[in-house]
A and B are shown apart, each in its own frame.
Chain A
């Protein structure tokens, strides 16, 4: 034992190897191999007559996705929904995080953190079905809005945006709150001291410093919405999103290669988003 200990304490590479082998192997297996398998599957095809997978490589699936207007429409719709969800979540999260981080007493802050975290304990399905019931004809939203001449938007994209914005909100609030706590009070005071009104302080000091946190939050809401297929089935009416298409092709259509090709789309979008964000330098402080 002692000999091993002394060997390890004098050989840094041995320590590193021991420490990192297991997690690295896991990462390689889960991420790299899985991604490679996905890419490979996308290059296979299905014999339309027998329904069997042919493992000869072809770009037919990818070509189909790139050229068929159906896929372009669904991709744009999915990006649109993800963007709407992200914008709504950031707009709601900013004042909540500001209140939690800079205004609330320590006790109120703890309570708010609990309040933000609690919905994460409830099942995703329960929350989606809760929104289905809220938005149903004669449901709570109808009942509240009817006296004002409004009503439930019904099942459709609006309902999907509402449901997704609700479900992912904690994932946006928490990083922004953490970022807000890291903004020193003295910076806010210094801005006021130099003559900036509260709104100018928020615009010129707090928001720029929060940008990395906002982006971190937006990565969550954007990517999670991008891959969602459950709530669109529950409250989305007849609308399709990329997730549904993958689901249908794996199941009903029995076309695993096409499903894999569709699944590449959100991955490529996310890579593009991350690359764009990286260029702004916002990830440096993450």
Chain B
């Protein structure tokens, strides 16, 4: 089941490639960027569809932000082609590209008030004063900030600045909005609230969002598709469900969420199979010793540690075969296990994800 999903995005990408460029917001071909000896971006091929919420996920230094800056035009690629809405924009300046960026530090102009900030993109395009202020107010209304339009950016809270930056970017009605870790500086509660607002905004405006984040949960929650970056390359591309349920490599399995990874030796010892496998903690059930679940793979072990999480408990089990398993026990568990208990860990064979 998981493998058939796995090929989903590839067939989709091929079909887009074969047809005309309409429907493709961004196409990157062989995109490469070197900074001195460092290959920040190393041959990225990617197509992002019109109206898609696309996330680039990876740790810092994985090249995701550089790809974003290359699309925006702040950096010029060492090699490769960038196509926006069918037009080759490689080598053009940022102000010649129909994309707008929401910066990580918001980059609001400190010498202008909120309304002037939002109207800036219209002002430099020569839109008349009355119209640009009208449209800026409208954009501020979209992010529910009309009441602060006379304030200076320094007088706003982090969440407000973030929304002003959004309004400033959408007021010029770009085809593509690039967001560089826009929620990184906000506290957790505000971040969750802004995630919902971003998703709603994207649905209402229908423009393509390219969202850079190192937060895997954020990427999974918001996106239509996710590209996982490592060392300047895309290591996996797919829907959030594909990325989470069917990681293709150990890197993706451990970077996106938590995984128990069985290397070749452990796979042979515990599973009796050849190859490498990943297993999500929430797919494992725990039973007292002696019980067993029909149709499951099971292994005996001893509980080494339990950690309360609120939504459940994380239970660390040392298997007899030597492997250490992390298990997510739901808060609804009938018979919670304790430290030192002998248990049987069991999971369905389907939940084992083969890794490359």
Contacts and interface: CB of A to CB of B under 8 A. Distances in A.
Contacts of A186: 103-105, 107
A189 B100 contact: no
Contacts of A187: 107, 109
Interface stretch (A93-101, A195-203, A213-221): A195-203
Interface string B47-90: 00000000000000000000000001110000000000000000
A117 to B, nearest CB: 29
B20 interface: no
Contacts of A191: 109, 120, 124
Interface in B15-53: none
B168 interface: yes
A5 interface: no
A246 to B, nearest CB: 40
Contact of B172 (A190, A194, A200, A209): A194
B154 to A, nearest CB: 11
Interface string A166-205: 0000000000000000001011011111111110100011
B125 interface: yes
Given A205-B109, A208-B111, A209-B111, A193 B124 contact: no
Given A194-B120, A194-B121, A196-B124, A189 B95 contact: no
Contact of B100 (A184, A194, A204): A194
A209 B103 contact: no
B94 interface: yes
Contacts of B104: 186
A196 B123 CA distance: 9
Contacts of B103: 186, 189-190
Contacts of B120: 191, 194, 196, 204
B124 A200 contact: yes
A276 B125 CA distance: 34
A186 B99 CA distance: 16
B99 to A, nearest CB: 8
Contacts of A197: 93, 95, 124
12 contacts: A189-B72, A192-B74, A193-B73, A193-B95, A193-B100, A193-B169, A194-B120, A194-B168, A194-B169, A194-B172, A196-B120, A204-B123
Interface of A: 184, 186-187, 189-198, 200, 204-205, 208-209
Given A193-B169, A194-B124, 8 more contacts: A191-B120, A191-B124, A192-B94, A193-B73, A193-B74, A193-B99, A196-B120, A208-B111
